[in-house]
Structure 1
Amino acid sequence: MSRIGKKPVPVPEGVTATVDGQTVTAKGPKGELTFVVNDEVLVKLEDGAIAVDPRDQSKAARSRWGMSRTQIANIVNGVKGGFEKRLEINGVGYRAAMQGKKLQLSLGYSHEVNYEAPEGITIAVPKPTEIVVSGVDKQVVGQVAAEIRKFRGPEPYKGKGVKYADETIIRKEGKKK
């Protein structure tokens, strides 16, 4: 039994949720998101909450039950408050800047790295060593943050590179003589 799947997703004030067959749509102050639930999971809107149940007790239905509930909770939370990921840049001469809608990164390469954010994603650079990626879709926000981190991931000897703000880099000891 899924402990996550048992809990209904409450629909907060200011958010309108509709269930049309297997399609769940949430509209809120930040925008509108849609999620199509797998056919092995049953979705109902009742008493201001979205309930998710497996259609039968097969392994496939039960494995998709909790995931579907989490996806629905993410779209409801996304249209209400949005999501954000913070990245930090460590290293001498490593910095970030916004050039219009493009993120320009100096990461120790012979060239600047330019990254254009997809539709619905906002990138902000409050400090030259800090990047904030925000948007309504949790999956897309995480994907954009991962793509920016991939340009120069943190290395274990000096800790240089792009890392998540809440990530800890396990440092290695250098060569001994």
Structure 2
Amino acid sequence: MMMILPPSLTVWPGELIEKLERILQDNEASLIAARAEREERDFTQTLRREQDAAILNSLKADQEKERERIKEELKIEIPEKPAVDDPDVIRIVLKLPHGSRNEKIFLKNQSLKFLYDFAFCHEDCPDDFHVVTNFPRRTLPCEPSKNGPDPPSFEEAGLGKNEMLFVQDNEA
């Protein structure tokens, strides 16, 4: 079905092109301003993303430096290996979340704080963790607090001569 327009609504192609060119000229300044504003907004967003990424990378580097500094301090505090034939030794095998195992010998009267420090100093240890027993499953109170007393000793925690303990990643 074909529509026929009344003569008053009929526009010749030349007139239409002329009207469109006039409309473009009338609005050209607005279009240029809108494009410039969009380009500036895009540039600002890109710059902000790049700055955020740089700040995040810097923060991660600072956190890693701090962790390494703490590790060095803690390594110094971990007691030396006692004599294997000492009747008060406790052999701990510590299994980390990624499957690696570390063995350390402590004295039963030493604080569990040293177990925590030993685990923390391992490169595969997560930043936020607990040390747990397998059976019966329980979390050992070994994380030291800045203002509180030291955690209990291995003996006070009820650990035997040979123990397999697990590092549990709190963020996993």
Larger radius of gyration: 2
**TM-score between the two structures when normalised by the length of structure 2:** 0.28
Larger fraction in helix: 2
